[in-house]
Amino acid sequence: MECLGCKLANEEEIIYKVYEDDYVTCFLDHVPFYAGHTLIVPKQHVLEVDELDDCVAKAIMDASKLISKAIKLLYKPDGVTICQNGGIFNELTHYHMHVVPRYKERSFAEFYTVQSGEKKNYNFEETQNWLKEAIEQILLTKKA
């Protein structure tokens, strides 16, 4: 398996997984815009959104709703951006969706421009544990 996205989604590389089902693995972005920035990656190799089969597409959207709820519960952001970059902008060469908490001090245009030294050193294990706990809480509440 040569594709990095496939390796990440199938845990052949080190990731900070927060959720998975039969179709997708969700884990923290290794260079987050903000704490909680999560990637949703299909386990099956897919490059572009228009190549997704219906089951995988639904699993991605279900995961995006779940991750978004957990981020809102934990971080109280002003909003959440859910996006996907295709074509030459897909640096992973494997379909993936970003779920990112957003705050009003940074406009959408500024969102993608990060000044040198602006990135913080996040505690990935702590963030992973918090998100996993929030997701478990949401799933338990949903079943009740």
Low-confidence ranges of the chain (pLDDT < 70): 1, 108-121, 144
Taking only the tens place, the pLDDT of each residue in 29-51 is 998 888 999 999 999 999 999 99
* Catalytic machinery residues: 98
Please tell me the distance from the alpha carbon of residue 72 to that of residue 24, in angstroms, as a whole number: 21
H helix runs in 13-107, sequence order = 54-75
Q: How far apart are the first and last CA of the chain?
A: 40
In the chain, how many domains are there?
1
Residue 117's pLDDT is 46
Residue 120's pLDDT is 66
CA dist 4 → 24, 45, 78, 96, 118 (Å): 15, 10, 32, 11, 26
Boundaries of domain holding 92: 4-143
Which CATH number goes with the domain that contains 113? 3.30.428.10
